[in-house]
Amino acid sequence: MNESFKVKFTEWAELDLDNIITYIAENDDRQKAIQIYLTIKEKVFSLSEFPKRGRVVPELNRININDYMEIIYKPYRIIYFIKNKTVYIVGVLDGRRDLEATLYQRYFSI
């Protein structure tokens, strides 16, 4: 039987998700925005059962920071770390953008 982990969104991750969904709703289709929101939330909360299934974030791994992991819901990257039986979601980022500066900023401010 697998242990269950808590899953918590950081303020950054909540803001990221809100911005993504707002942009899609305003510039594409409201129903599509709702579906993407629900799917991302489902992916995130599935980490409560299998948190170590993600890969180490390549941009951080290059500088020997390997405690941040990610799962992908194309084109979005869900970035997280695990501490004390809790999965902390630190970002929901568009993988089509350059993410290095954002990731470094978030890593060094936690």
* Residues 6-109, CATH architecture: 2-Layer Sandwich (3.30)
What pLDDT, on a 0 to 100 scale, did the predictor assign at position 63? 84
In the chain, what are the domain boundaries?
Answer: 6-109
Q: Is the Cβ–Cβ distance between 13 and 93 less than 8 Å?
A: no
Average pLDDT per run of 10 along the chain, which is 110 residues long? 86 95 96 97 95 91 89 95 96 82 64
What pLDDT, on a 0 to 100 scale, did the predictor assign at position 24? 96
Q: Is the Cβ–Cβ distance between 6 and 86 less than 8 Å?
A: yes
| Surface-to-core class of residue 58, CB atoms within 10 Å of its CB (0-12 exposed, 13-18 middle, 19+ buried) | exposed
Q: How far is Cα 5 from Cα 110, in angstroms, rounded to an integer? A: 20
Q: Model's pTM, two decimal places?
A: 0.86
What pLDDT, on a 0 to 100 scale, did the predictor assign at position 106? 64
Alpha-helical segments (H) within 28-65? 30-46, 58-61
